[in-house]
Structure 1
Amino acid sequence: MAKRVVPETARRRRRPTKQGQVLTHQLIVETALRMLREHGAAGLTARRLGLALGADASTVYRYFRGMDDLVLAIADELFGHAVDGWSPTGDWRADLRELGLRIHHAYLTHPQAAVLTASRVTGLPQEVATDEIILGILRGAGFPDADAVRIYHAFIDQSLAFSILDAATLALPAAAREADEEVWRDTYARLPATTHPHIAATAPLLVARMNHSAYPTALDMLLASASAQLRG
């Protein structure tokens, strides 16, 4: 049976923690994000989180039903980071492009958290608000509901898929990441045209592009396809 989470007003500590802070839902999420950035998913435990907060590990469970509940809250927090300060321009294509880039950037700012959370569906307020914004943009642009949902589906899954892919690269140890990047220059760029004519012909372009995210290009292709459909 799931543990009952105590309402925020009832669970607020009457005195500060050892760190001089009063525990809140937001503080726990922010501390968990920092721990993920510094120690990775394996380092995020209730015991370690309690130590970082200057509180007993059991205190975390007054705010969250379990560690998975905290993971969902972290995912929702990243959506909040993505839309914070965003405002629509009225140009549906430009607005969706900006939102996509913001989602991608929010996850890449916290690569360890992105790998842990980008595949989750939370149903929490920030995620729901973001989905409402995206669907509103598409329906406001004139897409029929079936098309709006189809494009929304492709848009959000593309954003999150690239977030996981690019975040996984950033989350690698520096030496491993640098070794992967060098493969394009040290292996692909040296393949002879006699055996690999197409790679050899495009090698300089591959070296210039392949260590950067393809997400902006993929996003533009998706939006161009949607725009062509709308015009049609």
Structure 2
Amino acid sequence: MSERVVPAADRRRRRPTKAGVVLSEELIVETALRLIEEHGADALSVRRLGRALGADPSSLYRYFRHTDDLLLAVADELIGRTLRTWCPTGDWRADLRDLGLRMHAGALAQPRAAVLSSYRVTGRVHEIQAVEAILGVVRGAGFPDPEAVRIYHAFVDQCLAFGALDSASIAMPKTARAADADVWRATYARLPAATHPHIAATARHLVADMPRSSYPAALDLLLSAAAARLAEIRAGEEG
């Protein structure tokens, strides 16, 4: 795509496309998500997207300046899908845990798009809403602003990193995933205690645990550290 774009007020297509649908930013993003998951981001082009929508590819410039602009909108939609399912309760630790797990699950539901969006900053409505909401939870718990930003940063980066890692694994061919999982059983579980005492002692746990995502455990460790830090802050205020 080029750098052309039509003002928001003039974007709506008044006549249906050849496929009988009226174009909208939401429809384009949904279609782009589907194409990314089916064919990968490298296959996403104006021509392919126009064909999938039954529309002239040039009509997409009414909504997005270029392909990267569209990818940012896709990333923002993934954030929005998570936020729409999240209902904070007022318990900061439980709320962050719930949000983190939902964000991670959302990434696994759209693994190829999640890998692409994990390192981008969209500056769009859903991302802004997420930043505001998470900071609100952390500041509401009583963390001073510098600490609140550190925890926000660690929380989001941890979730995005695990989402990208686990999504990349899911996107692998099933045979490759099965082969990776089998290495723990076929190689590590057979190492002798004489040469690898720590691996041998924990082998059965490695076989059971390593094929699964460690994100829930990592998230709990992060939140436990945050809770301990909050206790320190409160103790200092009382002292």
Task: Give runs of aligned pairs for residues 27-176 of structure 1, distance below 5 A.
Answer: 27-176=27-176
Task: Judge which range, 147-156 or 81-90, deviates more.
Answer: 81-90
The aligned counterpart of 1:178 is 178
Residue-by-residue CA offset, 1:85-139 (whole Å, 9 max, x unaligned): 3221110000011111111111111000011111001110100100100000011
Distance in 2 of aligned mates of 1:57 and 1:184: 48
User: Residues 8 and 25 of structure 1 are in contact (CA less than 8 Å); yes or no, is this contact kept in structure 2?
Assistant: no
Task: Judge which range, 164-173 or 182-191, deviates more.
Answer: 182-191
Structure-2-length-normalised TM-score = 0.93
Residue-by-residue CA offset, 1:136-192 (whole Å, 9 max, x unaligned): 001111000010001111000001011110011011122211211111111111112
Deviation at 1:18, TM superposition (A): 2.2
Distance in 1 of aligned mates of 2:178 and 2:44: 26
The aligned counterpart of 1:198 is 198
Letter in 2 for 1:162: F
User: Residues 13 and 23 of structure 1 are in contact (CA less than 8 Å); yes or no, is this contact kept in structure 2?
Assistant: yes
Structure-1-length-normalised TM-score = 0.96
How many residues of Structure 1 are paired with residues of Structure 2 in the alignment? 231
Structure 2: any 5+ residue segments left out of the alignment? 233-239
Name the Cα RMSD after superposition. 1.2
Residue-by-residue CA offset, 1:24-54 (whole Å, 9 max, x unaligned): 0000000011111111112211111111111
Deviation at 1:3, TM superposition (A): 2.7
Deviation at 1:10, TM superposition (A): 1.6
Identical amino acids, percent of aligned pairs: 64
Moved over 3 A (4+): none
Structure 1: any 5+ residue segments left out of the alignment? none
Distance in 1 of aligned mates of 2:159 and 2:36: 21
Distance in 1 of aligned mates of 2:137 and 2:115: 28
